[in-house]
Amino acid sequence: MDSGIINSFRKLRQALTADDGVPAVLKSCAERQHAAFTWFVPEYCQYSLKALEHLVSESSLDDFYKRYALRIKCPEKHPRKTAVVSTNQTPLEIFGDIVLVLLSGDCFYGKAESSTTVFLEAIMELFLKAAPEISGRIEFVEKIENAEAIIADVTEENEEAFRRYFSKIPAHFRKGRHSAAVIAGNESTEELLKLAEDIVTYFGRGRFSVRKLFVPEGYDFSQLFRIISEMNSPLLLHNQYLNNLEYQKTTCLMAQRPFMDAGAMIFVESEADSPPTGVVYFEKYRESILSHKCERLRGRYSRIVASTDTAPGCCPFGMSNMPSASDLLYDETLKELLFEKRQK
């Protein structure tokens, strides 16, 4: 593991917590980011900063070091240029890719829609000022060329084109992933409050947002729905989200598909994994041992959220959108690309 990279992230963490909190330049930048891309509201820009602080915390980096330090096989000279094409669904989602690529020993070579990177650019400016030694390892470009490996967010429509175009280099193509929560049915009000945060933060559009629930037969949703409807979240003040929510309700009504209305979103019973924005899917289960249910779901979702009292080892409620560095490697093929099957 490159101790220089670890030290650079320490400097970033110090810069983020300067001025007894969020630097003033980032507060003003959050408003500009919202103007450029309306899904990135200031509240969620601020939330993403807390998530970034957690991502580059001592505990996060120490845990990553213990797990992966011995698996990195990268020449000290001429590090590989790894490209990342990201849809950047949350204000700093692509920064997680920067962390992974740099920790692997590669250089980051990224592309994302410019309207989504206003806040990211401010963070990068802060990062490069705090740790100028990192400047040669990170580059954002308009077009990916001469990459030696690639990580790309793809859809059903463009996946084949990506595979053809990048067929000669190591590649990892990501389709929409998100987290799932397994509910035992005896959660406290505090736990449900935290689960609601996992669901509504970033409008549910994040890579780690909870968008699928597994609930016991006969589960009563009323308390969770009351909490969601009473939350002081940006959802009910966001015209684009509300228009989308009404569209989803109309679609269900026209298809005669039952749904439950939680005010800020609707819940639909489905075995599918990827609901549209404004919708949460749920499935019922009959297993009496919750930990077994959680174990069977690993690898299918970014994270499995559950009460740590009943399902040890799962992500605790309220922490879904606060991944550590190790949590970013939820996909085995991504582990292989960055830390195992590397080109010589």
How far apart (Å, rounded) are the C-alpha atoms in residues 33 and 46? 11
Closest CA to 242 of 52, 43, 38: 38
How much is the pLDDT for 208? 96
How much is the pLDDT for 341? 54
Residue 75 has which token pair?
Answer: 């020449």
Distance of CA 142 to the CA centre of its chain: 23
In a 13 Å sphere around the CA of 236, the CA atoms on its Cβ side amount to 10
The answer to whether 279 and 268 are in contact (CB under 8 A) is: yes
Residue with tokens 């069977």: 296
The answer as to CATH 3.40.605.10 being correct for domain 3-171 is: yes
- For the chain, how big is the Rg over CA atoms in Å? 20
CA-to-CA separations, 34 to 29, 31, 117, 122, 294, in angstroms, rounded: 9, 5, 11, 14, 36
How far apart (Å, rounded) are the C-alpha atoms in residues 159 and 312? 36
User: Cα angle at 325 between 322 and 329, to 5 degrees?
Assistant: 105
Q: At what angle do helices 24-36 and 42-55 cross, to 10 degrees?
A: 120
CA-to-CA separations, 256 to 211, 235, 242, 279, in angstroms, rounded: 22, 25, 21, 16
For the chain, 344 residues long, give each residue's pLDDT as a single digit of tens.
556 888 999 999 988 887 666 667 787 899 999 999 999 999 999 999 999 999 999 999 999 988 886 555 554 567 899 999 999 999 999 999 999 999 998 999 999 999 999 999 999 999 999 999 999 999 999 999 999 999 999 988 999 999 999 999 999 999 888 999 999 999 999 999 999 999 999 999 999 999 999 999 999 999 999 999 999 889 999 999 999 999 999 999 999 999 999 999 999 999 999 999 999 999 999 877 777 777 788 888 999 999 988 777 899 999 999 999 999 998 888 988 998 755 44
Closest CA to 232 of 268, 267, 204, 196: 196
How far apart (Å, rounded) are the C-alpha atoms in residues 170 and 333? 10
Q: Are strands 266-269 and 260-261 parallel, antiparallel or unpaired?
A: antiparallel
Which uninterrupted H or E stretch holds 112? Answer: strand 107-112
Count of other CB atoms within 10 angstroms of residue 129: 12
Provide the residue type at 147 as one letter: A
How far apart (Å, rounded) are the C-alpha atoms in residues 295 and 287? 12
Domain positions in the chain are 3-171, 179-305
SS3 at position 98 = helix
Q: Is 142 exposed, middle or buried, given 0-12, 13-18 or 19+ CB atoms closer than 10 A?
A: exposed
Provide the residue type at 301 as one letter: Y
Q: Against a cut of 0.85, is the pTM above it?
A: yes
